[in-house]
Structure 1
Amino acid sequence: MTLTPEQRIELHDFNNLTKSLSFNMYDICFTKTKAEREAYINYIDEQYNADRLTKILTDVADIIGAHVLNIAKQDYEPQGASVTVLIAEGPVEEAPDTAFHESPGPLPESAVFHLDKSHITVHTYPEYHPYEGISTFRSDIDVSTCGEISPLKALNYMIHSFDTDIMTMDYRVRGFTRDVNGHKLFIDHSINSIQNYIPDEVKRCFDMIDVNIYQENIFHTKCRLKEFDLNNYLFGYKKDKLSAEEQKEITGKLRHEMDEIYYGKNIDQS
């Protein structure tokens, strides 16, 4: 739903609703040997080091029209990285008509939005299974805004910034603001699913499940890539180097790992 300036609710004071988006992505890989595992972790650390993550977060800030106040970043030993960006509202003469439009957001070159004092953070977690040959990379991005604009406008870009097998997304609106009569408003825009902010071409690639608590303004969506090509999960070689039995065994391990992450529970392989 798009509201024109005439339709907007007149507030008693500034809009102080807090809108938080958590975006979690997982990349899965089969690493048969210690050397393969170390090479994969080094690759991930290079691809998603603090500098690259800083670029992603500053692009997110551009998309929602925020001014970057401060950046703290750190690469960790032996692996992983974190970045925190403090952002503030920029000068706005008139709120954009698309502020409440429930659709996939723009990519950085078409940024138009502004918001109140907020923050964006990212943390990465490369890890591996000690026995099964599975390596997993997880990245968590949190975008918290205060004011009229929802961080969901940056979701499209975040999805395009990572090569992901599984995504989980949580969106919540906290607090309240008041209209001119003192009536509390616990949310200021219509939403029935995070999926409405994901492009159709992306949704066609994933199986998706929603768990929403509308009365609490809590929305959750998780996604798992539909297509499975074993070549995309081997590090440094292709499946033609493996026997049919090895391909079947590795595929089973990878799918089991993905199922457990997607459903959020341990699954007995027997």
Structure 2
Amino acid sequence: MLLPNAWDHASAHALAAHGFRAVGTTSLAVAAAVGLPDGAAATREETLRLARTLGPGPFLLSVDAEGGFGDDPDDVAELARELHALGAAGINLEDGLGPADRHAAKIAAVRAAAPGLFVNARTDTYWLGDGEDTTRRLDAYVRAGAHGVFVPGLTDPRKIAALVRGLDGVPLNVLHSPTGPSVPRLADLGVRRVSLGSLLYRRALGAAVETAAAIRAGRGPEGTAPSYEEIQSLGRRGRDEGEGTASSG
């Protein structure tokens, strides 16, 4: 499954309108939108605010929660409980190469606090390192209760296939790389979820700057853009869904 990552109401609902049944969030965009650094445990409230906006949507919502915005497993469990109550179907928790036992404790606490929340446990062994210790960390996270595991930065087909075999049925999530295997190839290798991470957000920013620069230079903008009416319809759709959710309760 390809999991695109949104950063606000419009981006999430536009993706859903194009047939994506599950949408993730991207912590980089959440942080960048308010001028804060990503991965610094600084955007807990912003993440909850986005989940409150997207939770009632017509898609399964997976929330990128960095490392849970703290080291205390009980605090991370409370965050997970709140996200699940807001309608999130899953949470992505990254270890940032901190102690594996601490991350495992967070996972166990989240499972106990929000049993219905899908826990995707991310290790940064390839993202921030050379891949060493990947198997040991993932084993610890699965034993703690993770439903799936995420290894961003892993692109070598042979290593991906070997990791899939070692996981013995636990779903593997990898990050799409323009220079790595295609989504169909990753599926053939046994990967169950392919995330786009911050790619869509970064592409959108790049397109905005390129468009402004082109117009300033007297050229017409390239590419396509939704119409004003199409964007407006996304807002109406969201309100209608929110009202439907509220009335059904």
TM-score (norm 1): 0.25
Structure number with higher helix proportion: 2
Computing the radius of gyration from Cα coordinates, the structure with the larger value is: 1
Structure number with higher strand proportion: 1
**1 or 2 for the larger relative contact order (CA 8 Å, sep ≥6)?**
1
TM-score (norm 2): 0.26
